[in-house]
Chain A
Amino acid sequence: MTGTVPLNAYLILSAALFAIGVIGVLIRRNALIIFMAIELMLNAVNLSFVAFSRFLASMDGQIIVFFVMAVAAAEVALGLAIIIALYRNKESVNVDEINLLRG
């Protein structure tokens, strides 16, 4: 347990976090928690970007993480507004009950 942490350790952690996020989207039915799981997946990818940025001696990864965070902030604001609009219509945030577009 000495020395520097290799790139692969960060990538495996990132893959595990991403898989947990996918499981969250699959097993939860609360739209808010599905949204949190999506944030988790975004963060897992951000971790790989920063890890590659460090180990390849490049700043591009950190710049892209900056843009991902800006887009994530916009996405969260819009997503939560959509959830509030849905709650006004259906009195629920359970995705099983939301089938407004079903033909």
Chain B
Amino acid sequence: MEWLVFAPLAAMALATALLVVILRNPIYCALSLVGTFFALSGLYLLLQAQFIAVVQVIVYAGAIMVLFLFVIMLLDVGHEPPPWLRRDAPRLALGIGLVALLLLELAVAIGSKVSHGVRGSYTSELVNAVGNTQLIGRLLFTDFVIPFEITSVILLIAIVGVMVLARR
């Protein structure tokens, strides 16, 4: 049964991700990236990470992509020429070959069955009994409270930095 949910979502994630790289118009790229984010959000639901799935839609598909679309429309960037018409096409082919090698290496590493570590105590039953969001909230304010506070400082620095950079 899980495959019936996983396969369409995975296909949608891969197809929209490819469109981000292929399409010429930046607006279409951004919209197809929204599709990738929604597919990944569905996969997070399948993995019983409800909080992360909702945050994915709110933060990525909501805030970040609105920012991207805003800047694309603000700057009015034109279409770029297709990659095979560029002067550095041989180097480009070399780069894509290296990516293919990376993918092959990843596939070998994943296929070698070493990807299993120490199991934790948050079993599916416990997560369903307590609630995914409650568990994340509890951990954020106990074990991970220092990184949580540092994150708020990072966001503050980002706000100040953006004000400085984008000022005339």
Report the separation of the CA atoms of residues A29 and B71 in the bound assembly, to the nearest whole angstrom: 17
Mask: chain A, 30-54; 1 = CB below 8 Å from B; 0 = not: 1011011101100100110011111
Looking at chain B, what size class is its interface with the partner chain?
35 or more
Known: A59-B135, A80-B67. A74 touches B75 (CB 8 A): no
Closest to B87 in A: A96
The answer to whether A23 and B46 touch (CB under 8 A), given A58-B119, A63-B136, is no
Do A13 and B14 touch (CB < 8 A)? Answer: yes
B33-A66 in contact (CB<8A): no
**B2:A84 contact, CB within 8 angstroms:** no
Which residue on A lies nearest to B53, using beta carbons?
A50
B80 and A57 contacting across the interface, CB-CB below 8 Å:
no
Contact A81 B165 (CB under 8 A): yes
Give the secondary structure class of A's interface: helix
Least CB distance, A89 to chain B, in whole angstroms: 12
Q: A8-B110, A30-B80 are in contact. Are A63 and B139 (CB under 8 A)?
A: yes
Q: Chain B residues near A11 (CB, 8 Å)?
A: 110, 115
Q: What residues of chain B lie closer than 8 Å to A2, measured between beta carbons?
A: 1, 3
Are the CB atoms of B13 and A78 closer together than 8 Å?
Answer: no
Nearest CB to that of B165 among chain A residues?
A81
Chain A residues within 8 Å of B, Cβ to Cβ: 1-5, 7-13, 15-24, 26-30, 32-33, 35-37, 39-40, 43, 46-47, 50-60, 62-63, 65-67, 69-78, 80-85, 87-88, 93-94
